[in-house]
Amino acid sequence: TTDVQLLQQALQVSNGDLAEAVAFLTEKNAKVPQQDETTYYQTSQVASDKYISVGSQADTNVIDLTGDDKDDLQRAIALSLEESNRAFRETGITDEEQAISRVLEASIAENKASLKRTHTEVWSDSPNPYDRKRIDTCPVGLKNVGNTCWFSAVIQSLFNLLEFQRLVLNYSPPARVHDLPRNQKEHRNLPFMQELRNLFSLMVGSKRKYVDPSRAVEILKDAFKSSESQQQDVSEFTHKLLDWLEDAFQMKAEEDREGEKPKNPMVELFYGRFLAVGVLEGKKFENTEMFGQYPLQVNGFKDLHECLEAAMIEGEIESLHSAENSARSGQEHWFTELPPVLTFELSRFEFNQALGRPEKIHNKLEFPSMLYMDRYMDRNRDITRIKREEIRRLKEHLTLLQQRLERYLSYGSGPKRFPLADVLQYAMEFASSKPVCTSPVEDIDSSAPPGGTTGQPLPPPSTAEQDSLPALETSGSPSVSKNASLYMIFFPPDLQGSINRIHRTIDLMYSDKSMMQVPYRLHAVLVHEGQANAGHYWAYIYDPHQRCWMKYNDISVTKSSWEELVRDSFGGYRNASAYCLMYINDKKPFLIEEEFDKETGQVLSGMDKLPPDLKQYVKEDNELFGKEIEEWDALQARKAQQEKLALATAAADASATATPQQDPEYMEQPSPTNDSKHLQEDTERAISRAAAEQEERSPEALLNAAIKLEYARLLRFAQEDTPPENDYRLQHIIVYFIQNQAPKKILERTLLTQFADRNLAFDERCKSIMNVARAKLDLIKPDEVNMDEYEMWHQAYRNFRETTIFMMSGLELFQKTNYIEALMYLIYSYQYNKELLSKGLYRGHDEELLGYYRRECLLKLNEQAAAMFESGEEAEVSTGLGIMNELVVPCIPLLLIHDTERDLLAVEDMRNRWCSYLGQEMESNLQEKLTDFLPKLLDCSTEIKSFHDPPKLPAYSTLELSERFSRVMAALGRVPTEAR
């Protein structure tokens, strides 16, 4: 960092301790003030390395920060500032922009050995093993072990190809491995293969939510000799991965089939062939080439087919099809054999010569979920060429029509151009209002002032004007029919229709059955978010058994949707876009089919998939995890027992030392922060730290120091970017006050109240500090702190907590598909939250998130009620209409009143569902009930006529509320709106 303020803050916080300073600067909450930084929503507890950064030449001026010399810290800061200023003067580019990633690159390999810092590492597991426990058969995530999100995305995509998974799990190394050539052993692909087997076996049978891929990653990283890596190298890593796998299977294949030409399953899965047909300086040629991942340029194209068309044709190819020989050169590619797994690399990076660095292309590029490859096959060469020529001719005609339409829409010359239809309309209106040629005398207005020009005749048009205006008859008023005919001459009515028909013809050019015989279904999309030199990777993978898309984002594996995939993958939204597409042959179901037991015919799942050696490996790991859970349970039981003893002792001490007189004011005004045990612990911790750091040990000095430390801690929380599930506002009222800019006096009084709590530990130091805090509260005069304002702020916080409980309860019930009970909680949480947000951005929760689930809940109830109505059974029909009349219909005005597009569409969807029954045959009693119900549903009034009372809320301690809220938000899996 080159920020002076941040460096000085590190120096002050560290008190000369190098490890403390480095830890402070590398913690995730140490950010440059006013920095414009994209926030990435992740479900991991600590933001793991989210950026893979460009390495560059190491600085020659390096200070060793691993020694014990405390002066090195100040020298490092001075050198950093000096170097940054010099670089900026010479290049105009900051040091951070040029080389921020050098530290990250070095830390991946050496942070454990050199820094030995005591603070949280880049990644830290939750100490509670239940947070890391796999839920049922949910897919297993992969831990990010230092810029390895790219590895997770690639491995998960391959693992979910069940044929590939089987090949890896059942691989056995060659028996004569020691007789292999030295160079093959040096490749280390066999050790990697074994680690990949181990990793896959854990992904199949582990009881952990996510597993550690460190061993496989470390071996694969040896493939890169250079310490510098760029974002584009992810594709190189993937190439290297497949090369090693191919190598390992080749050794085994050669051993198994001595004397025969062995088949390599990796080649069979991922490699295809194409024919290059072309002309080079007038001479024709044909070459067959093998390909694996097929590269495609993105820039300048709107969809995948356009990219493929461009990739299949290079240079001028007219001479390929003509009888004449020419000096032109060009070639076409035609696929002769496509692999079962067809992978496209989308090149979204280009080098900016002016800036001397790579840049990412953020253009939108669409791709289909089903891709037909017939038009690119060699066997369809002739018909494809005919269709391409037809498309070329249609596009030429389309260009002419569009130019013609543009002339009508922008008629005239110069800056004042109008649609021709408007020009004609104005002319027709003028001509029909009065004769064009009249006597000037007849138009004189008798009421006009002397010398007025109201009735002066129009001057004759100039030659230029005559050329630019359509000729209109001037002998009397033209008839309407004559005007219409004239309009038709100048503006053919079907011009736009012709353009639309050509577009449709082009779109349908390859839609006949003969060109839809080679179907490929989208299996995985690997996404990159960020810039050319920094970013984060994740994958969307289709689950054919659940028939839904899954999002694999390091340790987080959640259900997703095609809509979310499109948003993140097509490009043009934030900085996220697909960089790799994996399609699978839809006519080869074995690629994604589960394996069956040959004897029982049952589907093999879980540990049954694994060979004996891997079963044992996973069993041992699961036993280790089981022991970890047992130890945690025993530890919690001991802690609970100790707490009971401590409470009993404290109660005994309190009764022995209690004074009969207590402060009535304090008892009448309990702490509005809803103190709980964790708050007392925080207070005691601040007092202990203050005592350790403060030279003056008087109670007042200790109180002031402790309050400053507590405030600094809470200020860091308030300024920290956090995922939705980690909302510090719920953990402490001061965080809420800071974020909402409460007056300083309100903050001070609230903190004093915290330290005046009678429930603090009853040692002498805490008691004395508590008494000083209570005395200070007594001394605060009414003119110093407005108690009405004080109470108003605390009431605002109570409203925020109440809204949170409504929201949390509604989301929990929604996740359990209990939509009837969920609805009222979601309705009231949305309404209360909207009131909170009207007073400030941080007064409440994400409005779009609440709006999304409120809307979804109503749609689900509408769907349930409609299904009941369709059953035709009397009881079901009555229940369904009851849901609509009592729940859905009263809520519709709430969706209409704010007039948001998605809410209006939801209301239309609900109404359309019920209106669709009008044209259907049904029993007369059903018809009668539908006729009675529809007017209520179609009422466009936004008046709220009847509504249920809000549900009663349970009481939560601060700790219970924040923990339960965290679980609910993490379980959502996806947030339909960007993080704040």
Whether residue 397 lies in the annotated active site: no
Whether 822 and 813 have beta carbons less than 8 Å apart is answered as yes
Q: Which two tokens stand for residue 116?
A: 């030995």
**Which listed residue (333, 528, 794, 845) is catalytic?**
528
Q: What is the bridge-based pairing of β-strands 548-553 and 313-315?
A: unpaired
CA 768 – CA 775 distance, rounded (Å)? 11
> Where do the H-state alpha helices sit in 300-339?
304-312, 318-321
Helix (H/G/I), strand (E/B), else coil: 221: helix
CA 923 – CA 877 distance, rounded (Å)? 12
CA 745 – CA 789 distance, rounded (Å)? 10
- How many helices (H) and strands (E) the chain has is answered by 35, 16
CA 505 – CA 193 distance, rounded (Å)? 51
For 307-341, letters b (16+ CB in 10 Å) and e give bbbebbbeeebebbeeeeeeebbbbbbbbeebbbb
- Non-local (6+) Cβ contacts of 179 within 8 A are none
Give phi and psi for 596, each to the nearest 5: -110, 145
CA 903 – CA 889 distance, rounded (Å)? 14
What is the sign, positive or negative, of the torsion defined by CA atoms of 180, 181, 184, 185?
positive
Whether residue 138 lies in the annotated active site: no
The distance from CA 787 to its chain's CA centroid, rounded to whole angstroms, is 44
CA 408 – CA 425 distance, rounded (Å)? 13
> Where do the H-state alpha helices sit in 733-839?
733-739, 744-755, 764-779, 787-815, 819-837
CA 722 – CA 718 distance, rounded (Å)? 10
Helix (H/G/I), strand (E/B), else coil: 736: helix
**Which listed residue (149, 307, 580, 857) is catalytic?**
149
CA 697 – CA 706 distance, rounded (Å)? 12
CA 552 – CA 532 distance, rounded (Å)? 22
- Non-local (6+) Cβ contacts of 251 within 8 A are 173, 174, 177, 180, 184, 190
Residues in the chain: 980
The distance from CA 583 to its chain's CA centroid, rounded to whole angstroms, is 22
Angle between helices 889-897 and 924-938 (to 10 degrees): 30
Residue written as tokens 């006519």? 587
Whether 629 and 129 have beta carbons less than 8 Å apart is answered as yes
Concatenated DSSP letters for 924-958?
HHHHHHHHHHHHHHH---------PPPPPPPP--H
Alpha-carbon dihedral 99, 102, 103, 109, rounded to 10 degrees:
170
**Which listed residue (307, 333, 523, 536) is catalytic?**
536
Alpha-carbon radius of gyration of the chain:
37
Question: Torsion-angle region of residue 356: left (phi > 0), alpha (psi -120 to 50) or beta?
Answer: left
Closest by CA to 681, choosing from 652, 639, 718, is 639
What is the sign, positive or negative, of the torsion defined by CA atoms of 485, 490, 494, 496?
negative
Amino acid (one-letter) located at 629: I
CA 833 – CA 843 distance, rounded (Å)? 8
List, by residue number, the catalytic residues.
Answer: 149, 528, 536
